Structure 1
Amino acid sequence: KTTGWIHREHLKHQGVKMLAAVNYTKIDQQGLHISVRKRERILAVDHVVICSGQEPVLPCNHQQLDELSIPVSYIGGALKAEKLDLQRAIGE
């Protein structure tokens, strides 16, 4: 049994909207470009958190993200998947 549902409920009560079946296209000055069930959308965002598991995954290169006026945080294997463990990911 996990506590994931508790975290999701907390986020939901904070106004966070959860989306499923999402493909992330790009991040630019307009916001986060996504496709949900083949329907294109642009989400206005004030902060982007890139969280990936054992494989480093970035929607674009670091320099492009650094040039945005939107703060970007990296968690887990997003930058460095080597020796990724739960303790390191939580600390990030």
Structure 2
Amino acid sequence: MSDTDPHQGLAATPSGLGRRGAMVSPSDTTDLPLVAKAVVVCAAGNLVIIPPENADGAPITFTDCPVGFIPPFQVRRVKATGTTATVASVDR
């Protein structure tokens, strides 16, 4: 633990805050570089995701998601088709 990062040594948990993130470029064919612990909606809209253990043809669609919405799944892909929201990943 450092003086500037008192949370550094804490264990990562599914419900804990992320320690890394990135804006997501939705794709119908390409998975995220790493399965995301979560994604968060940064600009409202529809969100279509594929969880890690769902087949490519089994996406889950969330409609009219508000800013701050976090779906209750880890995410391996954010689909371009149907996603109108701006999304960021939450990792670790």
What's the TM-score bracket when you normalise by the shorter of the two chains?
A: under 0.3
Of structures 1 and 2, the one scoring higher in RCO (CA 8 A, sep 6+) is 2
Calculate the TM-score normalised by the size of structure 1: 0.28
